[in-house]
Amino acid sequence: MTVLAAFRQKLRGRAAGPSFLAELRSVLQERGFRRLFATRLISQAGDGAFTAGVGAYVFFNKATFPNPGAAAAAFAVLYLPYSLIGPFAGVFIDRWSRRQILVRAALIRAVFVVVTASLVASGRLGLPLYVSVLAVLGVNRFFLSSLSAALPHVVAEDKLVMANAMSPTLGTVVTFMGGLAGLGVHFATGGGRGGSALTLLAAGACYLLAAGVGATMRRDLLGPPPVTGDAARAGLLTELSTVAEGLISGARHVWRRRPGGGPLPAPPCPPGGGAARPAAPSPPPPPEPSLCSARYSARRPAISPPSPIPGTTRSTASPRCPMSPP
């Protein structure tokens, strides 16, 4: 009875506690969070459309597909900012106004998207295109890092867990939806270079809209506290050198433990030289006597066969095993 009462009390406590929808509504009631969240969603929808435009141009281009080199370069450009630019972004977003980073990063990306769209429309696929795409994605690392760092400034501490769980998750979903919408724009406009260029311009429009939403927030709303003077410059150089040393140390660790890529050694030659000859197959083992024949032979009495009846012939066939099929 005591266990049942404790179980009922636990159920009442769960029912009385805040539900997921209640916590979600409480987070969305924050005005600053709504604007920051809208900035994220609009920008990440543009990220999906931008990735779709670049991917459609590289992978569905008749002049270069299937080109493994172009595919490898495209993937390297897409993921390089996460490894090289991302570690340095945190050093700057702790010193610059994050609201200004959001607005200016979105505007800068829109400019680079226009450059990328012009290169795609002209049919170029090489270093200029990869540099422009890398610039868009590199600036995007500052944008996303600033969004995450600014989140504690627009929600209360007790709502921070829900806000941290909801913002990146829904941002990823919107990125996927933006990619599907970008592919729809690409094929609806005829595909090819023109369709890819229009898809990229649609992504640039999303970046401009995200910059407009971000500009509605106060400049000092998202932090950080201002740091000026020689201490700021000294701390900046120290942290940049620390990040660079970490990257170099990691690269050395990977280089020293890289997997072997040489050819496999050949098998040794047999004694006396010459090519190895295959061994002769061994003869199969003799068949073992069946269970039926062994039992029947053991039980059969050792008597001489009867004399043949006059006028008949003697059969020479051996007697059949009663356990064998007819």
What pTM was computed for the model?
0.67
pLDDT of residue 312: 52
pLDDT of residue 134: 86
The number of angstroms, rounded, from the C-alpha of 258 to the middle of its chain's C-alpha atoms is 22
Dihedral of the CA atoms 45, 49, 51, 56 (nearest 10)?
160
Structure tokens at 288: 């073992």
pLDDT of residue 233: 64
Per-residue pLDDT tens digits of the chain, which is 326 residues long: 454 555 455 545 444 456 777 887 888 888 999 999 999 999 999 999 999 998 888 776 666 555 666 667 666 766 776 677 777 777 888 888 899 999 999 999 999 999 999 999 988 777 888 888 888 988 888 899 899 899 999 998 888 888 998 899 999 999 999 999 999 999 898 888 889 999 999 999 999 999 999 999 998 888 887 766 555 666 777 887 887 888 888 888 888 876 655 555 555 555 554 555 555 556 666 655 554 554 545 555 555 555 555 555 555 555 554 444 55
Place of tokens 């998202």: 222
Closest alpha carbon to 200 in 49, 45, 55, 40 = 49
Q: CB neighbours (10 Å) of residue 312?
A: 7
The domains located in the chain, with CATH, are 32-225 (1.20.1250.20)
Structure tokens at 214: 């971000």
In whole angstroms, give the CA distance from residue 186 to residue 203: 12
Structure tokens at 140: 């995007």
In whole angstroms, give the CA distance from residue 197 to residue 67: 21
